[in-house]
Structure 1
Amino acid sequence: MSSPKFHPIKTNEQLADYIPQCGKVELRNPNIANMEEDVLYHISLSNRTQDLKEMFSDVKFVCFGGSPTRMKKFAEFLVEELKVKISAGQALYNIAQGSDRYVLYKIGPVLSVSHGMGIPSLSIIFHEILKLVYHAGCYDVIFFRIGTSGGLGLEAGSVVITEEAVDGLLRPYMEVPTLGMILQHPSKLDQEVAMELMSLAVPASDGYSTVIGKTMCTTDFYEGQARLDGAFCDYNEEDKMAFLKRVYARGICNIEMESLCFAAYCYRAGIRGAVVCTTLLDRLKGDQITSPHSVMEEWQARPQKLVASFIKKRLGIE
């Protein structure tokens, strides 16, 4: 069997400059409009069995994060920050509880959803959430990825706002095997949203630094990120440090496993998006995450607080 051939994107839509959607969210897939029912299988919803417009039409912000527990805590945090009233005796409800893959919480005009670990898991939920806001008739939606990462040349606990995501070869696009061809999707993010987020960071009072920079996204946690502590390793400490110093010199501030897909899909959809991650260690100083759990809990809340500040500003909440 012949190997897939390299086939760059050539359609006008995909070659066009990034143009954010204004108004009602639209899909770039004509097949969806002709389907009698669209089952969003992994979040246990359907545009036929549920009234998605009634449930979700007011959504303006979608916040993705890897851990189900973390995204529940973020939802609980937003209840307080956005002053959302929950009836006595009631609690936050996992809308996706009919599936055991992801969690989905709605807090006023915000969705808090888990995406799992790595590009394949994020890809699935991104497709279904984008279709959800389309079926719901949402307007002017902004997507965020809130997560953790390994930093480069940054003190642990720093926050990185991604200006551009690159792959493990430092290429600013995601390759997707499609119909036996390799398609390339640019992985650019909305710079206006990034700058607005940056304007809300106040290092003097925050007690930690927030920076804008490039993020390297890998498909592997160990060898893909030049760690020495995996089950396999075909390089030494000198090789590892040479690589990390090289990517650091190219403007890479942090390394994680989802930003490339998130950025490429936001760009492809015309959705304004941002990636905000805390750093759990400086990879120029080591491989293993050894900070106490309580410390990491506080670090992981930092991107959440920044995104919450952005949402509150947009909603006019003091």
Structure 2
Amino acid sequence: MDEEKSIPIKIQEQMNQYVLQQGKLQLRNPHIKQGHDDILYHIALGNKTHDLERMFQDVKFVCLGGSPNRMHQFAEYLMSELDIEVPAGLGLTNIACGSDRYVLYKVGPVLSVSHGMGIPSLSILFHELVKLLHHAGCSDVTFFRLGTSGGLGIEPGSLVITEEAVNGLLQPYMEVATLGKLVQHPSRLDSELAQQLLALAQTEPQCQGHSTYLGKTMCTLDFYEGQARLDGAFCDYQPEDKMAFLKRIHNHGIRNIEMESLCFASYCQRAGVKGAVVCVTLLDRLKGDQVSSPHNILEDWQRRPQRLVALYIKQHLGGKKQ
């Protein structure tokens, strides 16, 4: 690749070494100065229009998922699991209601936020969430992505905890065109956190009844051709080409395919925060392209990542009422 058009990944690795932040979350952007206006437009908040420290300083966990409804359901589930009471006459409030892009619920020290579909949508939200946590003076925050995915060679309804996120070329970095150059940001996740989640999934009764895998996740920029589907509006390859590709990436260690993990992993690394991706598989892509399970079954499967992450949060909060 032309040197004038890209920065080699080895240089970016030196620039983006995974260093977990200790204490209050600091922004790695010298242009956002203390005391200046910072409008978090897409979640309808700002450091001058809202008392972000009073509202969010106690946040220790940020849970992201694609669907607004699903993240509302997760917030309700957390209220029960963490035994958090809401004052009489009040209910869960979408704090980002001033915008129609995302939803954001606060349940004690946990944020439950929708990120939409795909890397661009997640990217916008992640920038603003990190700035929110910084302005609020938060420290030692852990991020989770809870999602759905297509599995590879594993039963539908299984959980995959991502050990490494790769792009559509099986490369472990997210490439961003910045100032006319392709910059490569490595996409590492916290291995200790992934192992802790796997241990919970394998030992806790509420996580039994389905398989859980630790494996690589391929993140694509497209739902159809990028994932080797045959059922899109366009397709320029044959079924045998699809199967050869899926078998090849399965042999490479890929256990599921989705559209956000690469950005999530690279941004967690750049921000210096712990992060984990837990996705349920809705089908086995080696057996087909379309999700055909009944709606009630899919609803149950989609709660499986929520149960695991909620259990982790509950244990790390000591199971105490907040």
Classify the TM-score, shorter chain: over 0.9
Answer yes or no: is the 8 Å Cα contact 2:42–2:101 preserved in 1. Answer: yes
The letter for the 2-side match of 1:50 is H
Give the corresponding residue for 2:269: 267
User: Judging changes above 3 Å, is the alpha-carbon distance between structure 1 residues 55 and 203 closer, same or farther for their aligned structure 2 residues?
Assistant: same
C-alpha distance in structure 2 between counterparts of 1:14 and 1:271, whole Å: 18
What TM-score does the superposition give when structure 2 sets the normalisation length?
0.95
Give the corresponding residue for 1:65: 65
Q: Deviations over 1:77-112 (max 9, x none)?
A: 000000011011111000000000000000000000
Give the corresponding residue for 2:25: 25
Deviation at 1:35, TM superposition (A): 6.1
Deviation at 1:203, TM superposition (A): 6.9
Answer yes or no: is the 8 Å Cα contact 1:203–1:210 preserved in 2. Answer: no
Give the corresponding residue for 2:234: 232
What runs of 5+ residues in structure 2 fail to find an aligned partner?
none
Other structure's SS at 1:83 match:
coil
Give the corresponding residue for 1:295: 297
Q: Deviations over 1:232-258 (max 9, x none)?
A: 001111000000000000000000000
Other structure's SS at 1:196 match:
helix
Answer yes or no: is the 8 Å Cα contact 1:281–1:289 preserved in 2. Answer: yes
**Number of equivalences:** 317
Other structure's SS at 1:201 match:
helix
Give the corresponding residue for 1:42: 42
What TM-score does the superposition give when structure 1 sets the normalisation length?
0.96
Answer yes or no: is the 8 Å Cα contact 2:119–2:263 preserved in 1. Answer: yes
C-alpha distance in structure 2 between counterparts of 1:181 and 1:100, whole Å: 32
The letter for the 1-side match of 2:274 is R
Within 5 Å, which residues of 2 pair with 1:136-175? 136-175=136-175
Runs of 4+ in 1 over 6 A off after TM superposition: 10-13
User: Judging changes above 3 Å, is the alpha-carbon distance between structure 1 residues 28 and 163 closer, same or farther for their aligned structure 2 residues?
Assistant: same
Identity value in percent:
67
What runs of 5+ residues in structure 1 fail to find an aligned partner?
none
Give the corresponding residue for 1:99: 99
Give the corresponding residue for 2:309: 307
Other structure's SS at 1:50 match:
coil
C-alpha distance in structure 2 between counterparts of 1:27 and 1:236, whole Å: 47
Q: Deviations over 1:4-34 (max 9, x none)?
A: 7122367688535312112111110011125
1:222 matched to 2:224? The reply is yes
Q: Deviations over 1:97-154 (max 9, x none)?
A: 0000000000000000000000000000000000000000001000000000000011
Q: Deviations over 1:195-219 (max 9, x none)?
A: 1111101379410001100000000
C-alpha distance in structure 1 between counterparts of 2:138 and 2:203, whole Å: 34
Answer yes or no: is the 8 Å Cα contact 2:149–2:256 preserved in 1. Answer: yes
C-alpha distance in structure 2 between counterparts of 1:13 and 1:21, whole Å: 17
Give the corresponding residue for 2:209: 207
C-alpha distance in structure 2 between counterparts of 1:104 and 1:38, whole Å: 18
C-alpha distance in structure 2 between counterparts of 1:107 and 1:287, whole Å: 37
Give the corresponding residue for 1:248: 250
C-alpha distance in structure 2 between counterparts of 1:3 and 1:252, whole Å: 30
User: Judging changes above 3 Å, is the alpha-carbon distance between structure 1 residues 16 and 38 closer, same or farther for their aligned structure 2 residues?
Assistant: closer
The letter for the 2-side match of 1:278 is V
C-alpha distance in structure 1 between counterparts of 2:16 and 2:231, whole Å: 43
The letter for the 2-side match of 1:246 is R
C-alpha distance in structure 1 between counterparts of 2:204 and 2:47, whole Å: 47
Deviation at 1:160, TM superposition (A): 0.3
C-alpha distance in structure 1 between counterparts of 2:147 and 2:10, whole Å: 33
Coordinate RMSD, CA, aligned = 1.7
Give the corresponding residue for 1:282: 284
The letter for the 1-side match of 2:162 is T
Other structure's SS at 1:174 match:
strand
C-alpha distance in structure 2 between counterparts of 1:202 and 1:19, whole Å: 29
User: Judging changes above 3 Å, is the alpha-carbon distance between structure 1 residues 13 and 149 closer, same or farther for their aligned structure 2 residues?
Assistant: closer
Q: Deviations over 1:142-194 (max 9, x none)?
A: 00000000000110000000000000000000000000001000000000110
C-alpha distance in structure 1 between counterparts of 2:87 and 2:201, whole Å: 33
